[in-house]
Chains A and B, each alone.
Chain A
Amino acid sequence: MHLVRTDDPGADAALMTAFAGRDERAAGALYDRFASRIYGLGIVMLGNDQAAQDLVQDTFMKLVRTAERFDPARGRLETWVLLTARSLAIDGLRRRVLESRSLHAVGIPREDDPSPGPEERATVADLSARARRAMAVLSPEQRSALELAYFGGRTTAEVAALEGIPQGTVKTRIRAALLRLRDEMAKEADHDV
Chain B
Amino acid sequence: MTCEEVRELLPEHLLSSLDEVTDADVRRHLRGCAACRDERMKLEEGVAALSRAVHDQDPPDELRDRVLGALEEEWKDAERVPVAPRALTRSRSRSVWTAVAAAIAVVLVAGSLAWGSAQAHKAQLASANAGSYRDLLSFLGGKEFRVGTINPSPGSTVQGQVLLYDGDAHHGWSSWGLVLVKAPGFDGKATATLLGPDGDAYTWPPISFHDGQGAAWIVTHKDMTAYDRLTITSSDGSVVASASIHPA
Interface positions of A (Cβ within 8 A of B): 3-5, 22, 24, 27-28, 31, 35-37, 39-41, 43-44, 49, 52-53, 56-57, 60-61, 64-66, 68-69, 74-76, 78-79, 82-83, 86-87, 123, 127, 130-131, 134-135, 146, 149-150, 154-156, 168, 171-172, 174-175, 177-182, 184-186
A39 touches B63 (CB 8 A): yes
What's the minimum C-beta distance from A161 to chain B, rounded to whole angstroms? 14
Per-residue CB contact flags for chain B residues 63-98 toward chain A (1 = under 8 Å, else 0) read 110111011101100000000000000000000000
State which of B51, B55, B72 has its C-beta within 8 Å of the C-beta of A43. B55
B154 CB-CB contact with A under 8 Å: no
Q: How far is the CA of A72 from the CA of B42 in the complex (A)?
A: 15
State which of A53, A68, A134, A154 has its C-beta within 8 Å of the C-beta of B53. A134
What's the minimum C-beta distance from A46 to chain B, rounded to whole angstroms? 11
A27 touches B71 (CB 8 A): yes
Complex A-B: 18 CB contacts under 8 Å: A3-B49, A3-B53, A27-B68, A36-B56, A37-B51, A37-B57, A40-B51, A41-B55, A43-B55, A43-B57, A68-B222, A78-B44, A82-B47, A134-B54, A149-B17, A168-B8, A175-B10, A184-B49
Count of B interface residues, CB-CB < 8 Å: 49
Which of chain A's residues have a CB closer than 8 A to the CB of B64? 28, 31, 35
Known: A36-B57, A39-B57, A135-B54. A182 touches B49 (CB 8 A): yes
Of B48, B58, B66, most A-chain CB atoms within 10 Å: B48
Which of chain B's residues have a CB closer than 8 A to the CB of A49? 60
B63 touches A149 (CB 8 A): no
Which of chain A's residues have a CB closer than 8 A to the CB of B45? 4, 182, 185-186
Q: How far is the CA of A52 from the CA of B56 in the complex (A)?
A: 12
Q: How far is the CA of A4 from the CA of B44 in the complex (A)?
A: 10
**Interface residue SS majority, chain A:** helix
A57 touches B57 (CB 8 A): no
Which of chain A's residues have a CB closer than 8 A to the CB of B221? 68
Seed contacts A31-B67, A40-B54; 12 additional CB < 8 Å A-B pairs = A27-B71, A61-B70, A66-B226, A74-B27, A78-B48, A78-B51, A131-B54, A134-B53, A171-B8, A174-B15, A175-B10, A182-B48
Known: A43-B57, A68-B223, A175-B43. A56 touches B67 (CB 8 A): yes
State which of B15, B49, B60, B200 has its C-beta within 8 Å of the C-beta of A185. B49
What's the minimum C-beta distance from A14 to chain B, rounded to whole angstroms? 16
Which of chain B's residues have a CB closer than 8 A to the CB of A180? 46
Known: A3-B49, A56-B67, A179-B46. A75 touches B58 (CB 8 A): no
What's the minimum C-beta distance from A42 to chain B, rounded to whole angstroms? 8
A79 touches B53 (CB 8 A): no
Which of chain B's residues have a CB closer than 8 A to the CB of A177? 46
State which of B7, B15, B68, B223 has its C-beta within 8 Å of the C-beta of A24. B68
Which of chain B's residues have a CB closer than 8 A to the CB of A57? 63, 66-67, 70
B235 CB-CB contact with A under 8 Å: no
Which of chain A's residues has its CB closest to B227's CB? A69
Which of chain A's residues have a CB closer than 8 A to the CB of B60? 49, 53
B70 touches A53 (CB 8 A): no
What's the minimum C-beta distance from B57 to chain A, rounded to whole angstroms? 4
Which of chain B's residues has its CB closest to A124's CB? B57
